[in-house]
Each structure stands twice: as structure tokens, then as C-alpha cells.
Amino acid sequence: MNNLEPRRARWIKLRLGILVTGMTVGFVTLAARAHELQVRQGSHLRDLAEQQYEREVRQRPRRGNIFDRNHTALASTVDGYSVTANPRSLRRRGVDVVALGTRIATVLGLPADRVVEDLRRDAGFRWIKRHLLPDEVSQVRAALRDYPTAIEGLQVIVEPHRYYPNRELAAHIIGAVDIDGQGIEGIERQFDTQLRGNDQRLRGVRDAMGRLVFAEGLTPSDGSAGADVTLTIDKTIQFIAERELGAMVRSSEAVGGSVIVTSPATGEILAMASYPTFDPNDIAHSSAEGRRNRAVTDRFEPGSTMKIFTVAGALDANTIQAGQLINCYGGTFTIGDRTIHDTHVDQWLTPMQVLARSSNIGSAQIGLALGADGLERVFRRFGFGERTGLPVPGEARARFGERRWYDVEVATVAFGQGIGVTSVQLAQGLGAIANGGRLVRPLLVTRVHDAGGALIEEHVPDAGRAAIDPRTARLIGEMLTAVTEEGGTGTAAAIPGIRVAGKTGTAQKARIHGRGYDENRWVGSFIGFAPAERPEIVVTVIIDEPAGDDHQGNAVAAPVFRRVTEETLRYLGRLRRTGGPTQIGAATVRPGATTSASLTLPVNTPSITLSSGDGGAGPSVPSLVGMSARRAIATLAAQGLEAELSGAGTVVRQAPLAGESAGPDRRVQVVLEPGGGAPRPTPIDADAGVSESP
């Protein structure tokens, strides 16, 4: 540079200085930026990069199963198939989305314009159709073979699908899930958290096309899978109940109905049917009316079935006696501005006859003798006025007692008018009568197990509480058998070969608009249990708004009760098929016989033991109080027992007591008195409580 002209040398030095300075500034800036990116923002940028190439894969676990009491699957999860699309991938690959969309729409039965519109969207994911049928899957795959470039943009994927193998069976209990597998009805909704399990979140690597290249742990762990729920329902009994209920609702052109079958000793619900119904496999095409579980959601006036509890409460409180005569005023009785009528014209009836002939006036007199507070206490002891606590959505509460009842209301409420109940409350209340006076809450879910089989929850039968004295319960049970025998209002519920205890009910429904009752809208019902001596099942039948003039409980509900009870007892091994005469122990029952008095005993029969199904060595003595002499003799003869009578009239005392075993001589001392122990007829007067007749 010394050989250069000074002016030129200075210019070169200046240029070198500028260059070095620029390079230095550049390196410093680059170093600062590198420090900024790698040190100060390194973790943030690393997260951004991972978000571009790594994906958090949310894997939904397999939903748990729902089983009946015999471990038969009522709801399960199977692998289903769905069609998804990546419209951006189709565009990049130049796929003719109009032709492809039209072809796929034809195969899947979808509108072509909607499918084409979905394939044209600027999106990386679209559902085309979920839960495909098997032949739809094969047709879609065949169509994709004609469009090889669309393989990455239109795919058939495996997706868990909720499946109900028995279709409508127990649909109102099981419920259903929505298209995303969330419980929306019944047990599916109530136990959704347990059934759904815990979602797994897995880290996977996706390429620029969004395809999953690698992921670990794709198999759900036992801890994430949904739990299994076991119900008290018996699939076979449920089928019987649904079949008979549906047949009656259709034939009577009713709006709907419900049937409940329970075990009185444990409160277990063996069947709970409602009609109309729905198929949970196709929940999208069901109606709100079809999905309603009428057994728990519908509140109605029960009518004469409430007479059971009125009479039971009065007997238990010693307000009336079993043999007492009650004035029924010849079928017409006026209290306040209300006139009460009976369908049968009677002057004097015993409590058993009040039930057998379903006397509104007799029940009103008994209710008035109890009084407003006493009647409310009775109903509450039987569980009315509060929810049963069943784990199903929408259970109604039958409210009453917010204000004190006037005499007119006491009279009408006593025979089931002016009070609202639900089917499941009736089943619970009658279960207390069948269970020796002990009220047990209904039980629907017994166990919840995790995917590994470990017990998570267990629900055992409720210990219950005393509703009435056991002796009163046995007496009421015996009285209720008169309802299904000749002269009673529920003869259509009688079953050949066994004694049935029950009660009919026919109640008008309130007007939709305005006050009073609609003469064209009725609820027919029958509630009962069998066998009367050792109740195995309680059956509650409600038929809502049957069409035509024959809307009585004996016409529309009692036949359903008979068929459901008979088939259920036969299924449980408690009843043999009848064709010719049926041998029960040593007694021959004629086909069509409906009462214990129809038993024909062979000559020189030393002992007769009715089959009880529990292996008992001998018969227990039935309750005879309130019976006539003739009926008491027939009842004892049916058990292979001999009656030793004293007095005349109706039975007031017996030895041994009801429920106790007969002695080796098989004799029962029976004391009868005129009027059941009342030397003079003792009416219950609406104005003066209990008073003597003039």
C-alpha cells in the first residue's frame, strides 16, 4: 500500500474500515439475535416447533358395559367405522372433489351437494358420516380404490360405537348416548362419569400432511377404560313386562303405560317397562314422548289403589277393627258440597269388603276417622310424598301436605283422588305390605366394577323401616285376595293355582284447561303381589288414557298383571304350566280355578303342603281375621289344615296366629263373632268419627 498514491491509499483504508465495521456490526447483531433466539426465546420457539410436528393425541377409552343381574350385556362398546376427509390434502393432490363427493354421497345415502361442499372447504378435517353400516364401509373402500390420489384425503377410520344388542329392551332404564359417546338418558347419563372412564393424552409425531407417523401407548390402560355397571333387572322378566304392556296399550289405544316388577324382600327392580318406547341404537330418530320413563316421571292420581294404604293405616292405628261394619250409605254420601258415589250399592261393609268392592264411601269414612294429620302420616310411612332415590333422571316427587286438608279433601284423598303419586312409589308402598310391613327403598344398581374387575361401588338392599305392624300387613294381604276372587273388582287378575293379592284402580284425570275432571280421560291400574302367602314379586301396572268405554282397571290393567305375574313366577320356577288339572302337593287345582276355595282335596289326604319354593317342611297358618266361616275353612283346607270353629259371623281371633307353624295335629282354633266382634253395627260417621248406629 506504500507504493500507492496517498489519496488512493486513504480511500482503500476507508473502505476497509467501513467493511470491517460493517462486518463487526453484522456479527455482533447476528450473535445478539442468536442469543435472543437460542437463549432468551429458546424454550418458546422449541414449543412452537414441537406444536408443528408433534400432536397430542386424545384417545377416548372404551366405554364400560351395562349388565343385567345375570351378567347379560344390555349395552356394550364395539369398534365402528366412520368416514373423515382432509379437504386441503384433496386440493393439493388435485382430486376431482365433485366426482368423488357425488360418488361417496350415493354410497352413504347423503345429499351430494352437502358432501361436495364439505370436500371443498379450507379445512384439515371434516366428518363425512359416522357409525357406518358394514356394507357402507365396503362400498366406500371400493369407491376409494377408483380414486387412488384421494387415499390420504378421504379415510375410513375405526371409532368406538355404543351398541345395544336388545334394541328397545329396557331402553328407558339403560338410556342412550349421543354421537360423541356422552350419556344423555337413563343409566348412561346417571353413571356417565364411571362408564366413560378417563381420556388418554398421547404424544405423537405428524408429518406436513398431518398424518400420524409415530405414537406410543395406543392401547388404553386398565385405569383409563370405563367401568361396568350391573343392574337388578332380569332381561327375561323385562321382556315379559314390555311385551304385555305394549300389547295392552296398542289394543286399548291408550296414550301410554308402565309396568314395574319388584322383589318385595329386597326392593330389587326386576323389570321396569314404559310404553311408547324407542331404540337407543337410533336415538336421533326417537321422540321425547318415546324416551320418557313414565314409571318415574309421570305423576298421576292413583284412584282406588290408595285404599290399600288408607285401610292399612287405620287398622294399624286401631282406628278401625278388622270385623267392624262401616256405613256406606247405600252408595251415595254427601260431605260439604261434594257427593261421593259407589259403583256398588252397599249399606254395611267390613274393611275387607271395602277393598274387595272398592267402596269410595267406605274408604272416605275410614279416612275421616283417621283425620287429616293421621292420613298424611299413614301415606308418608309408605313413602309417598318423597322421591324413591332411583338413579335415573327425572324422577317426579308426588307432593302433598303443603297445607292442611279439609274434610272434603280428606274423604277424597282416602280413595286416591286429589293426590299425586308415581308408579315406582306405588310399587314401593305395596312392597311394604308384601314384605311384612317393612318399607324397603327400590334398588336398581348393585355393582360398579372397573375394567380390571375391581369393585368400585356396591349397593346392597336397604334395611328399610317399619311402615306398619307385621300382623297388620299379613291381614291386609289376606284382605286383598278378596279383590281377585268372585265378587271382587279385580277378577281378571286371578291366576289359576295361586292366590293373588291386589287392588284395581280407575281414576279420572284432571282437565288440561279449567278445573274439575275430564270425563273422557282415565288412568286404569292394578297393583298386587303373588303368591299371597309368601310374596315373591310385586307387580304394578298403569295404563294411561285407554280409549273407549271399558277403561276400568280390571279391564285394561288386571289382565296385564295376570300375564306378567304368571309368566314371571313360571320363569322363576314358582309356577308350573297348567293344561289339565295341576297337582300342587296333594291338592288338585282345576284349570281356571282362581280362589283357594276352588281346591279339590283328595279323599284321606293326611297332609297337604303347598309348594313354596323355599324347601319349608310344613305350612304356616294364614291370616283368617275378617273372613267368613266358609272362606276360613276353604283357606285352611288349601293348606292341609283343619278348622275348629266356635261362634258365628266373621273371624275375630285365631290360634296359632297368622304366620306361625301349625301344630302336629294341624288344627287351627277359629273364633267368630257377629259383625266381626261388634255386637251392634258400628258405622264410621263423617261428622262424629266412630259412633253407634241408631
Q: Alpha-carbon distance 358 to 308, whole Å?
A: 10
Cis previous bond, 393, omega within 30: no
Report DSSP letters for 201-259, one per residue. EEEEEE-TT--EEEES--SPPTTTSPPEEEES--HHHHHHHHHHHHHHHHHTT-SEEEE
- For 362, the 3-state DSSP assignment is helix
Q: Alpha-carbon distance 35 to 502, whole Å?
A: 89
Q: Most distant CA pair in the chain: distance in Å?
A: 159
Could you give the angle at the alpha carbon of 218 between the alpha carbons of 212 and 224, nearest 5°?
A: 135
Task: For residue 361, give the C-alpha cell.
Answer: 264411601
DSSP 300: B
C-alpha 468, offset from chain centre: 26
Scanning 66-111, the segments in alpha helix (DSSP H) are 87-92, 97-108
Closest Cα partner for 323 from 654, 636, 662? 654
Q: Alpha-carbon distance 414 to 411, whole Å?
A: 5
Residue 670's Cβ-count burial label (10 Å; 0-12, 13-18, 19+) is buried
Q: Alpha-carbon distance 263 to 544, whole Å?
A: 24
Q: Alpha-carbon distance 550 to 556, whole Å?
A: 8
Q: Alpha-carbon distance 214 to 57, whole Å?
A: 11
Closest Cα partner for 468 from 395, 567, 381, 368? 381
Scanning 530-644, the segments in alpha helix (DSSP H) are 553-556, 558-571, 629-638
Closest Cα partner for 107 from 77, 123, 83? 83
Is residue 304 annotated as part of the catalytic site, yes or no?
yes
Residue type, position 673, single letter: E
Contact 500, 539 (CB under 8 A): no
Strands 587-589 and 582-584 come out as antiparallel
- For 168, the 3-state DSSP assignment is coil
Residue type, position 447, single letter: R
Contact 356, 483 (CB under 8 A): yes
Strand partners, 655: 669
C-alpha 341, offset from chain centre: 36
Q: Alpha-carbon distance 326 to 378, whole Å?
A: 20
Q: Alpha-carbon distance 331 to 175, whole Å?
A: 47
Closest Cα partner for 296 from 439, 437, 457, 444? 444
Task: For residue 415, give the C-alpha cell.
Answer: 280413595
CA separation, residue 570 to residues 240, 373, 564, 671 (Å): 11, 43, 10, 37
CA separation, residue 632 to residues 159, 588, 595, 636 (Å): 67, 19, 12, 6
Q: Alpha-carbon distance 410 to 397, whole Å?
A: 20
Q: Which of 252, 304, 359, 620 is catalytic?
A: 304
Contact 241, 259 (CB under 8 A): yes
Closest Cα partner for 294 from 566, 567, 66, 540? 540
Work out the end-to-end distance of the chain between its first and last CA atoms, rounded to an integer number of angstroms: 152
Q: Which residue has 277424597 as its cell numbers? A: 412
Residues known to be catalytic: 304
